[in-house]
Amino acid sequence: MRHLLAVFLALSVTNALAGQCIKDTRPLDLGGSQNEGVKTVQLRRYLCETSNADQISIQFNRLNDLSASLLIHGKAPSVMHSVFGNSKIINNDVLKEVNRLLNDFGYYEKDATGSTYFNVSSVNGEHGESEYKVNTSNVPVLVSHYYGNIDIPFPDAKAISKLEDERGFPSNYTKMSNELIWRFMNNDDLVGYQDNVEAYNNFIRGKKYSIRYGNIGKNSKWIPSDIRLYRYLAKSGWPNDFIVIFGEHTDEGCATSEQWVFSFSPRELVLDVAIIENVSPHKISIDELVGNASDNRALRSQELSKALSQGHQSTVISGLGSLAPGEKLVVPTRMTFVIPDGLDVAFKQHPQSLPKMTNYVWGPEISVTGVRVNGEVATLEASAANYLALTASCECGSCPYLYTWNADTQHWHNQGKIIDKADGPAKENSEVREFDGLVSRFQIIEQEAELAFINAATLELELVNGSIKTVPMDRQVVKIADNSYQQLYFGDVLDLAFKVPDDIEPAMVKHSRLKVTGYYRRYGDILSERMGKLNKSNTMTLLKDGFDALPVTKRQEGDTKECKSNSRLKSTSIAPVNFLQ
C-alpha cells in the first residue's frame, strides 16, 4: 500500500517593476526509475533583473514536515537538489517554531522499507513519477512516514458501549451509512484522553475479566504524539473542525469478525518557504524582504493569511547577506495544518454529511511581497502552484510496536511492528530483530485497539570477535517462554532494559539481537466473542489468553488472512492549486 508522504511545492512569482521579471520555467529531471509520465517536468519560475543586470530567480515552495525535516537536517533526496541544492536556510522565528514542533512532538521511525515514489504535477498539466530510495532515518516527523492514509485509533469508549452494548446510536455522531459515522474532535477529547483510554480498556476487560487482567492499562504511559501536539495547539483555542473522528463497522485489520473501530486522520504540517537564487554570473546582495509579518500564536484560518498579504508593506527580514552565483536562500514563511489528503473522498461518498473544513495556519508568519536586490525592489504577486509528492509503500497492519532508545537524538525511535503475524493465541510465535552496534533499551507499545500477550524477551550480543553473549534484564519483567504472559492493553508500555556487562564496550558489539515471543488479540474479536455475536454453532473452546467458553470465530484461528491497515481514505491525485490567492 502506498501512503502519501507529500512534498507540496508551490512555485510562484510575478512581474515586478516593468521589464524586471518575466515568467519562466525550469526543468526538473525526475531521475530514478521512470514508472509513468514524462522524465522531465517544467516547473514554473520567474526571473527578475535589476538595472545593473543583477538577476535572481524567486520561488514560493510548500513542503510537508517530512520534506522540511529532511531539508533542515541536510538529508534532502537527490531529486530535490535542483530546487534546494546549494542553499542556506534562514533561521528565523518560523523555522524556530518548526524545530520546536519537531523536537517536542515529532518522533523517529525506521527508514522506509518499501519503494518510494516521487510524483510531480506541474501547472501546465505535466505529470511524472520516479522511484527512489529515500533515507528517512534519524529525521523527526509529525506525521508518520506511512500515515498518509492510515488512521490513528481513538478510544471513544462511550460510543462503542452505546453501539455494542445498548444497540443504540451515539447522539454526538452524524450517520453517513449503517457502517460509518463521524464527529469532530473537541477539546474534552484532548484533555481527557487518558481517561478515555482507561474507560476503553475497562470496557474491553468487563467486570468478569477485570480481576483476571488486573489494572494493567489503568496507568497508560503512551499518548500519541498527535494528541500531545493538539493539546499544545489548543492552548490558544481549539477549532471545532480541526480533526474528524470516524466510527466504522469493519473487519479490516487482522480482526476475525466485524466490529466498530474509531480513529482519526492527522493533519499534516505544510511549511511554506521562499527560495531566492542568484542566477547572475557575479555575487549579489539580498538587502531585505518586503511584505508583512505576524507573530500570532493561535490556530487561524488560512483566509487570514490572504488578508496579511494585502496589508501595509514594510521590511520583514533584512541583512540577508550576499549570494554567490548559483547560491540560494531558503526563507521559511508560514506553517499550515492542511486537511488530510483523501478526507474529501470519504465525505463525497456521502454528500449529505459533508462538513465545512478549512486549512489552519500556526505560529509566526511572513507574507513576502517584494525583494530588494542591490538597492532595487522587485514586487511579487501570487501565481498558480505546482504539486510534488513523495509516496512510499509499507507493510502496515496490526500488532504492538517496538521502539529503541537512541542516545544521539535522546529520543525513542519507532522500529515498526513486532510479532505482527501472531494475531491470535494459535499463532503465537517469536520474532528476532537485529540492530547494528550496541542497543540495550527497548519499549514495546500497544498502539492499536488490541490486547498483546508478551511471553518472553531476550537479548543476544554478537561481538566483533565472533562470540555471542546473552544479556540479562535489569528488571525481569518477562521471563523465558513459560506461558506466563505480560498483558498490554491499548496505550500500555513495556520497558525492556538489559544490563550489559561492564567488560563489554560499545565498540566491541557488532550486532544486538532482540527476540520477542507472544501474540495479540484485536479488541473487536474479544468483544464479539464475549458478547456471543459469532456463530453459536461453532465449537466452544478455552483460549490460552484466559477467555473462558468463547466460540471459535468463523475464520478459524489457524486460517490465514492478510492484515490490512484500517483506512477509509484513498490516496488521490491533487491538481495544482493557487495557495496564495
| 46-50, 176-180, 274-278, 348-352: segment of lowest average pLDDT | 348-352
Judge whether 196 lies within some domain.
yes
Confidence at residue 516, expressed as pLDDT on a 0 to 100 scale: 94
Same structural domain, 416 and 534: yes
| Contact of 134 with 393, CB cutoff 8 Å | no
Same structural domain, 242 and 381: no
Confidence at residue 393, expressed as pLDDT on a 0 to 100 scale: 57
CB under 8 Å to 503, separation ≥6 — which residues?
none
Last residue of a domain, one of 364, 393, 422: 393
- Express as a percent the part of the chain with pLDDT over 90: 36
Same structural domain, 10 and 139: yes
Judge whether 102 lies within some domain.
yes
Average pLDDT over the chain, rounded to an integer? 78
pLDDT tens string 80-93:
888 888 999 999 99
pLDDT tens string 278-310:
999 999 999 999 888 988 889 999 887 776 766
Task: Examine the pLDDT at 563 and tell me if it is beyond 80.
Answer: no
Judge whether 244 lies within some domain.
yes
Q: How many domains, in total, are found in the chain?
A: 3
Judge whether 317 lies within some domain.
yes
Mean per-residue pLDDT, 62-78: 86
Angle between helices 65-72 and 93-105 (to 10 degrees): 110
pLDDT-derived band of residue 249, with 50, 70 and 90 as boundaries?
confident
Judge whether 579 lies within some domain.
no
- Express as a percent the part of the chain with pLDDT over 70: 72
pLDDT-derived band of residue 524, with 50, 70 and 90 as boundaries?
confident
Same structural domain, 7 and 142: yes
Amino acid at 7: V
Mean per-residue pLDDT, 24-38: 70
Amino acid at 484: S
Torsional sign, CA 33, 37, 38, 42: negative
Most confident stretch, 139-143, 174-178, 204-208, 237-241: 237-241
Residue predicted with more confidence, 422 or 126: 422
Last residue of a domain, one of 244, 264, 284: 264
Same structural domain, 36 and 185: no
| Cα distance between residue 163 and residue 178, in whole Å | 11
Mean per-residue pLDDT, 208-226: 57
Host domain of residue 163: 152-264
Judge whether 556 lies within some domain.
no
Same structural domain, 255 and 272: no
| Cα distance between residue 526 and residue 534, in whole Å | 11
Judge whether 315 lies within some domain.
yes
Same structural domain, 123 and 212: no
Same structural domain, 11 and 123: yes
| 123-137, 257-271, 316-330, 550-564: segment of lowest average pLDDT | 550-564
Residues facing residue 423 across a β-bridge: 520
Last residue of a domain, one of 393, 419, 445: 393
Same structural domain, 143 and 169: no
Q: What angle do CA 401, 406, 408 make, to 5 degrees?
A: 155
Mean per-residue pLDDT, 428-448: 94
Residues facing residue 513 across a β-bridge: 434, 460
Same structural domain, 357 and 382: yes
Type and span of the H or E element at 81:
helix 81-84
CB under 8 Å to 338, separation ≥6 — which residues?
8, 267, 268, 270, 359
Judge whether 559 lies within some domain.
no
CB under 8 Å to 455, separation ≥6 — which residues?
428, 478, 481, 482, 483, 484, 485, 517, 518
Same structural domain, 215 and 276: no
Residue predicted with more confidence, 383 or 71: 71
Same structural domain, 412 and 470: yes
Task: Examine the pLDDT at 135 and tell me if it is beyond 80.
Answer: no
Burial class (CB in 10 A: 0-12, 13-18, 19+), 562: exposed
Tell me which residue of 102, 98, 101 sits closest to 140, measured CA to CA: 102
Tell me which residue of 128, 224, 155 sits closest to 573, measured CA to CA: 128
